[in-house]
Amino acid sequence: MMLSTNNIELRHSHVMAIVNVTPDSFYSGSRSLSSLDVEHRIERAISEGATIIDIGGYSTRPNAPEVSLEEEWLRVRCGLAAAAKIDSGVVVSIDSFRSEVIRRAVEEFGEVIVNDISAGEQDAAMLGVVAKYDLPYIAMHMRGTPQTMQSMTEYKNGVVEGVVEYFKARVEDIVAQGVKRERIVLDPGFGFAKSMEQNYELLRGLDQLRALGYPILIGLSRKSMIYKPLGITPEESLPGSLALAWEVLRAGDAILRVHDVRESAQLITLAKTYRG
């Protein structure tokens, strides 16, 4: 089956299930190594309510080791093959900042969403590839690289203004390189070049990001901003993840990038009921 993005409206709320084909994701429950493990993870996510499967072959946790292009591609290809084999019609996104990974994916498997932590700044060819294939594009705010980002948390006028002003300029650059404005999704990048306090400041200021008029993706699931204040582990942080996701959804739709699909799908249903 060839993959497609035609049947998804990104302005609605969605559960994006994290499928890390890596050995070192910060949350052990999201690591999938064998092709059978990946297939089972995807099947379960779909059955629990995921409408997007996010496949990653390069861990972007703080201080994560670098991964070669070929190794990343082998991992991503494993996930794509599993998703295509399942033949569910689910939409697939690829968590990568490398244009060559995206190019190979599209040419072999079909249309994907591009989930780029660097908003096109790590690979100068990325936006051209996205434009060529007319792909949905998630641009995330980050400074530096996963290896250096936590030393880059100074924001002149606060993190909310810093993120909003970054996206105002960056979106225009992205559009100028041929990516359609209506295909762009913004991710404020919780945990990427932000201190714990800044993560919560950003969460409180999400209305300013929404005001830019683009769909938003939120990745809070089981991150250190949840488990460190509570003195617990990522494995114990589901309740906190859901509490913060509720704060996001109370104000409007969002794509939730999560480890826990069933619970997040239920949360979206409740938020829609709450908003009326």
Neighbours of 246 (CB within 10 A): 13
Catalytic residue among 257, 262, 272, 275: 257
The verdict on residue 77 lying in a domain is yes
The verdict on residue 82 lying in a domain is yes
**114, 130 Cβ separation under 8 angstroms:** yes
Catalytic residue among 98, 143, 194, 223: 223
Give the three-state DSSP class for 270: helix
Residue 117 and residue 254: Cα distance in Å, rounded?
A: 17
Cα dihedral sign, 142-53-7-255:
negative
Of 230, 217, 145, 146, give the one whose Cα is nearest residue 185: 217
For 100-143, how does the pLDDT look when each residue is reduced to its tens digit (9 = 90+)? 999 999 999 999 999 999 999 999 999 999 999 999 999 999 98
| Percent of the chain at pLDDT exceeding 90 | 81
Q: Does 257 qualify as catalytic in the annotation?
A: yes
**199, 225 Cβ separation under 8 angstroms:** yes
The verdict on residue 7 lying in a domain is no
- How high is the pLDDT of residue 60? 73
Question: Identity (one letter) of the amino acid at 135?
Answer: L
The verdict on residue 237 lying in a domain is yes
The verdict on residue 154 lying in a domain is yes
CATH number at residue 196: 3.20.20.20
Domain hosting 23: range is 14-275
- Name the helix (H) or strand (E) containing 240: helix 238-250
The verdict on residue 32 lying in a domain is yes
Of 131, 136, 31, 33, give the one whose Cα is nearest residue 91: 136
How many residues does this entry show for the chain?
Answer: 276
Q: Does 223 qualify as catalytic in the annotation?
A: yes
pLDDT band at 32 (very low <50, low <70, confident <90, very high): low
- How high is the pLDDT of residue 27? 40
The verdict on residue 6 lying in a domain is no
Q: Structural domain tally of the chain?
A: 1
For 59-85, give one letter per residue: b (16+ CB within 10 A) or e.
Answer: bbbeebeebeeeebbebbbbbbebbbe
Cα dihedral sign, 35-40-46-51:
negative
The pTM for the full model equals: 0.93
The verdict on residue 1 lying in a domain is no
Tell me the CA distances in angstroms from 246 to 52, 72, 121, one per residue in order.
19, 33, 31
For 144-196, how does the pLDDT look when each residue is reduced to its tens digit (9 = 90+)? 777 677 767 889 999 999 999 999 999 999 999 999 999 999 999 999 999 99
**221, 243 Cβ separation under 8 angstroms:** no
